[in-house]
Structure 1
Amino acid sequence: MNNFSYTKAGDIGQAIDLTNNNTGNKIVAGGTNILDLLKYFVTEAETVVDINRIEGLNGLTEHTEGGVRLGALMTNADTAYHPVIEQKYPLLSKAILAGASAQIRNMATNGGNLLQKTRCYYFYDPVTACNKRVPGSGCSAKEGYNRIHAILGHNENCIAVFPSDMCVALAALDAIVQISGPEGDREIQFADFHRLPGDTPEIDNNLKQGEIITGITLPAETFSEHYSYLKLRDRSSYSFALVSVATAFTLENDLIKEVRIALGGVSHKPWRVKEAEQFLTGKAPSEENFALAADIILQGASGFQHNEFKIGLAKKAIIRNAAMALHPESQRPGAKPSL
């Protein structure tokens, strides 16, 4: 770990000034990712800026017109177990509880979850080529062991995947990210927050220099009746997804009125294809229709030597999770989903 200074920001303005005026300064909240990056020499910092004492960035606020605001410093655990989230946004609760470990969820913050880095082996290994870590150096994963890597949205510059479970649910729920920065406050639709690798794989999101996430807004539509989060992984706890799916429906007259499907573990950002949702709208919630929607979602998917199996796995996961969303009670241990 390189040497760095440590300071505490007293308010948002001070935190913005400290990071806007010096690109070497890094924000820390829960520290569950940034400290690993520093420890393994993946990144460096001149000063670590602690924002935990800033008021107004914690807690949950319900809006009178519907929807809620989640503070950026609210922990993942407090969010998942909050009665409002459990009752009104159970998809988000289940997605958060599928991620990391209880100890990490107790420390990790909502804002930090959105900003975490990929868990690509080569990104964390400073002696290997990685365009995300050192732009222009190459991508070792393409010819290396790439079992956990992307099947959608990748290119020759980067095939890493975004690791968050929480963000898959936020993508499905059409969340909005609230931001403060040198130019004032603004909001970003969740679908526009994270980036595909393109020509700049080292840039993960559309935050500008000096900007800080202050909160996350969840719309009034909760999808609390028909929902499911399915995470397929190599072991049942503290493991990142090979494929994950967040699915939510509203039904009317036994037909799909509205549907959301988002995938994790398959791309550089949570993957959502609205054409597939439009296809399902107004149709019967059948295995055949879910399979056709899965084909739309996975159009153009391509794998590498060790991860081509994820394409078929993703299709099966989409179909299975849709059945689970129709019958949330099927998510209890030992239950089997049915269409």
Structure 2
Amino acid sequence: MAMDDNNKVKLDNDTIMNLAKAIADVQQKQQEEQFKGSTITLTDYMQDWLQMKKQTNIDVKTYEGYESRYRNHIKPFFDAEAPKLTDVDTNTVSAFVGALREKVDNTSIRFSMRTLHDVFTVLSIALNEAVRGNYIPRNPCDNVRLPKVKKTQKEAITKEEVKTLYEITREANHFNWIAVPLLFSTGMRRGELLALTWNDVRYDIEQRTYYININKAVGAEKKPTIHAYTKTHSGVRRCYISEGLYNLMIEYREKTQHHNRTYVIAQKTKNGWREPRNFNRTVKQWCDKAGLPNGISPHSFRHAYATYMMMAGQPMDAVMRQAGWSNERMIHYYTDDAVMSQKQPEVAEAMGRLTEGMF
């Protein structure tokens, strides 16, 4: 800053920039003081947030995942300086991601890049809700770039493998053989399947359609119970089925269950639903008997559903509604890359027909 002959103040560029920054800082501070996050630390907020989540209709396993990632990774980092919620900015979150990255690089710690993304997601979800609750003006996670995680190959069970599995279970008249066509034809989650009752299997007279009401699920906790909700809000749905599958289910109920069970996938010795771990063991026994590859589980059918529906060119929105996915990203996550790559030549041929005579 200098004085000229007319005693007028001249400001150099650095001074102007410093003044502008000071004004912006004051304005930002005033703005932040208008939010509830200026009086609560991030860790206190997240503990309250977790308590609120525990009381809402979310899957027990999902809550346990949130709580574990907060307790083991988020709390230790942010407890050190105990910043107010409004003081947590992009640089703070970037430093947190950097600390997580060091855990990934430390070979003595079992901490993967996928876990890093999961921990970051929990923080981001909590801060998104802080924005909606008027604690902070914006989510500082939004502009933080994460290191890329390599997509793990998700193998879908094939149609041929499903056919082999069905023939073996049907021939042996296993008490739960209907699970094979049900899982493959609907892509429903294991917990949703195990919670199904015969009252959930319906026929719409006006639309002349068959469907299954999916509105509950068996949890994956150590002592599983039936929850009156599914894994996500999108999971509560009317899942339509073909007439052929409906008739197969009725045949199963008559000839295998003899109308003596409440649940579709019931215990053989009494009228109760099957626990997830026991059902997993049963599926593994079926696969071993059929000579199928290791690693096939009830969830493999969900991957198959996404893969084959995409290969068949079905509308993505309809597929999402049927399987209870909340967004398109989940469909891409579930599709089998190896199987989908087989459709690429057909895509090239379609483009060839489209451009014929153009070039």
Q: TM-score, normalised by structure 1?
A: 0.26
TM-score using structure 2 length: 0.25
Higher strand share: 1
* Greater Cα radius of gyration, structure 1 or 2: 2
